[in-house]
Amino acid sequence: MKKTSKVVEYNKWGYIFLIPFTVVYAIFQLIPLISTIYNSFFENFRSGLKQIGPNFIGFANYAKILSDGDLWKYMGNTMIMWIIGFVPQILVSLLLAAWFTDPSLRLKCQQFFKTVIYLPNLIMASAFAMLFFTLFADSGPVNSILIQMGILEKPFSFMSSVTATRCLVGLMNFLMWFGNTTILLMAGMMGIDQSLFEAAEVDGATAGQIFRKVTLPLLRPILVYVMITSLIGGLQMFDVPQILTNGSGDPARSTLTMIMWLNKHLYSKNFGMGGALSVLLFLVTGVLSIAVFKMTGTNTDK
């Protein structure tokens, strides 16, 4: 009797420790989320100094967004740029993490390489994008170098080419995140019981086999974590293309991400459309996250 009551008493601390999270979440996330959803059913915008609305218009905002096809286009842009960055990111990170944690390789200067590859992650995304903007300008250093090396005859206009601009965004995302991912994966790999590797080695497994059969499956939780956070981060892609293209998403709106689009609505204080777009983004993020969660889950279940 006495013991149970004591446990119950302890367990009330569960609630107490949850208070800060709950209160802050309610104020700064939940209320805003609800009011965002509420806003999405209204025509409510400011034009200069004139305030239009709020007038209740039901699902008209949603209908407008979904009917003109822009959402899909910008979602496509976002995903393309995410994939350009993420695929090399996860591959390179897995490779590097395997190398770094492989005791038989005994790589020297590990500390140096880790330091270097993690470095871009600390760089402010906006400063990094601004830097790339100046470096890849028509008369910027990159063109200048390529011309001096005789690779180009006249400057290549990176910012006018859809592919080049998207690849630049992808490259920046890759550079900023592969070091981070490497270190996360390393942490995961080093958490694996070394005796498993030793056993596999004794059984005559090659490095590649060990990686596929032992490391990858055991890495699943951390891989799921990396993928989900990266996907959510990818869907929220904003800073890099925003600064690189000065918010225009040029060339021809091919680098306009969903959040940049949302930002445009927020800047023109179109709360109705912005709200509807936010809700749709919310749904899209949710669906994609669940999909990835399920996919990675079932894949390794067997």
Site for other proteins in 16-55 (CB under 8 A): 16-18, 20-22, 24-25, 27-29, 31-36, 38-39, 45-50, 52
d(CA 129, CA 124): 9
d(CA 13, CA 11): 5
Among residues 4, 5, 139, 195, the one that binds other proteins under rule CB under 8 A: 139
Of 79-87, 114-122, 210-218, 294-302, the window that binds other proteins (rule: CB under 8 A) is 114-122
Q: How far is CA 240 from CA 132, 151, 205, in A?
A: 10, 27, 43
Contacts with other proteins in 163-222 (CB under 8 A)? 175, 178-180, 183, 186-191, 207, 221
Contacts with other proteins in 258-297 (CB under 8 A)? 259, 262-268, 270-271, 273-275, 278-279, 281-282, 285-286, 289-290
Window 68-107: contact mask with other proteins (x via CB under 8 A)? x-x---------------------x--xx--x----xxxx
d(CA 171, CA 142): 15
> What is the total count of residues that contact other proteins (CB under 8 A)?
134
Among residues 57, 66, 140, 220, the one that binds other proteins under rule CB under 8 A: 140
The token pair at 95 is 């490779």
d(CA 149, CA 132): 20
- Can you name the residues that pair with 51 across neighbouring β-strands? 46
Residue with smaller CB distance to other proteins, 15 or 298: 15
The closest of 244, 205, 221, 38 to 125, measured between CA atoms, is 244
- What's the closest the beta carbon of residue 83 comes to other proteins, in angstroms? 18
Among residues 151, 252, 291, 295, the one that binds other proteins under rule CB under 8 A: 252
Among residues 144, 164, 216, 218, the one that binds other proteins under rule CB under 8 A: 144
Helix axes 162-190, 125-135, angle to 10 degrees: 140
Q: How far is CA 148 from CA 145, 151, 157, in A?
A: 5, 8, 16
The residues, any chain, with a CB within 8 Å of residue 1's CB and separated by 6 or more, are none
Contacts with other proteins in 52-71 (CB under 8 A)? 52, 68, 70
d(CA 199, CA 209): 13
Q: Does 122 engage in binding with other proteins (CB under 8 A)?
A: yes
Among residues 7, 67, 153, 203, the one that binds other proteins under rule CB under 8 A: 7
Residue with smaller CB distance to other proteins, 76 or 141: 141
- What's the closest the beta carbon of residue 138 comes to other proteins, in angstroms? 4
Residue with smaller CB distance to other proteins, 83 or 158: 158
Q: State the sign of the Cα–Cα–Cα–Cα dihedral 189, 191, 196, 201.
A: positive
Block residue for tokens 């409510």: 44
- What's the closest the beta carbon of residue 71 comes to other proteins, in angstroms? 12
98: alpha, beta or left? (left if phi > 0; alpha if psi -120 to 50): alpha
